[in-house]
């Protein structure tokens, strides 16, 4: 069931349509909470280490060892898929299975309370996981390279 890479692009028009709906729909009303005071600020942290420890380790765990319950969070430590920086970056940008996308346009991010990372932040955290936790991929990628990948 895992769908590698992206499955479809949304046209600019479709995106604009979604934004129009959003303008009408405050997200909080549809859900079982009242979160008017929830901060909509983005993550300040810029370094890969700080981004990882503030966000990623919530699921992938502090040593990137992953976890197993009724389902599992994949370990990033020693994960051979990390050989492809594009695979890692696209996963962060667009999400995968239950993992949220971290590069939704601001309005869509607000609608689903997703966190928006800049291309520079994505590049930093991709480099961080590929250089740590027993991963030794030498190459580093830049914000410009991340910008060239398909964003949601």
Partner 1 sequence: MATDPTGSSVSRRSLLRMIGAVAGSATMYQAMDALGFAADSPYQGPIDLQGAPRGASVLVLGAGVAGMTAAIELRDAGYQVQVLEYNARAGGRNWSLRGGDRYTELGGLTQECRFDKDLYINPGPWRIPYHHRGILSYAKRLNVPLEPFFQVNYNAYLHSSKAFGGKPQRFREVKADYQGHVAELLAKATRQNELDAAVTTEDREKLLESLRHWGALDNNFSYTISDAASVRRGWKKKPGGGLSARPVPSEPTGLQHILSSGLWEGVSSGDDYDMQTSLFQPVGGMGRIGEAWGRELGALIRYNAKVVDIHQDESGVTATYEDTQSPGSPQKATADWCVCTIPLSILAQIPINVGTPLATAISAVPYASAVKVGLQFKRRFWEEDEHIYGGITYTDLPITNIGYPNTGYFGSGKGVLLGAYIWGLNAMEFTSMAPEERIAKALEYGSQIHPQYHTEFDNGMAVAWHRAPFTMGCFGMWSAASRAAHYDDLCRFDNRIVLAGEHASFLGGWQEGGVTSALDAIGRLHQRAVAQGDKA
**Interface pick for partner 1 out of 4, 16, 49, 67 (rule CB under 8 A):** 67
Candidates 99-107, 120-128, 130-138, 142-150; binding stretch for partner 1 (CB under 8 A): 99-107
Do residues 137 and 87 make contact, with C-beta atoms less than 8 angstroms apart?
no
At its nearest, how many Å lie between partner 1 and the CB of residue 75? 12
Q: Between 85-94 and 119-131, two packed helices, what is the crossing angle to 10 degrees?
A: 130
Best CA proximity match to 120, nearest among 100, 104, 151, 141: 141
At its nearest, how many Å lie between partner 1 and the CB of residue 139? 27
Best CA proximity match to 48, nearest among 123, 148, 147: 123
- Cβ distance to partner 1 smaller for residue 28 or 142: 28
At its nearest, how many Å lie between partner 1 and the CB of residue 86? 20
Q: How far apart are CA 32 and CA 50, in angstroms?
A: 31
Q: Does 71 bind partner 1 (CB under 8 A)?
A: yes
Q: Does 138 bind partner 1 (CB under 8 A)?
A: no
Task: Calculate ∠ Cα 113-36-92, nearest 5°.
Answer: 10
Q: Does 13 bind partner 1 (CB under 8 A)?
A: no
Which parts of 110-129 interact with partner 1 (CB under 8 A)?
111-115
At its nearest, how many Å lie between partner 1 and the CB of residue 40? 7
Q: How far apart are CA 20 and CA 135, in angstroms?
A: 43
Q: How far apart are CA 15 and CA 72, in angstroms?
A: 32
Q: Which residues make up the interface to partner 1 (CB under 8 A)?
A: 1-3, 7, 10, 14, 18, 21-22, 24-26, 28-43, 53-59, 61-62, 67-73, 95, 97-101, 108, 111-115
């Amino acid at each position: 069931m895992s769908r590698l890479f992206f499955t479809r692009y949304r046209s600019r028009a479709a995106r604009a349509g979604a934004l129009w709906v959003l303008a009408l729909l405050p997200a909080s009303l549809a859900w079982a909470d009242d979160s008017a005071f929830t901060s909509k600020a983005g993550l300040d942290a810029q370094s890969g280490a700080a981004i990882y420890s503030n966000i990623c380790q919530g699921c992938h765990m502090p040593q990137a060892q992953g976890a197993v319950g009724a389902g599992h969070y994949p370990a990033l430590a020693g994960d051979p898929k990390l050989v492809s920086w594009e695979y890692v970056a696209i996963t962060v940008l667009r999400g995968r299975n239950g993992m949220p996308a971290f590069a939704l346009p601001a309005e869509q991010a607000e609608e689903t309370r997703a966190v928006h990372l800049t291309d520079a932040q994505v590049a930093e955290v991709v480099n961080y996981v590929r250089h740590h936790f027993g991963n030794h991929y030498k190459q580093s990628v830049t914000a410009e390279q991340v910008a060239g990948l398909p964003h949601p």
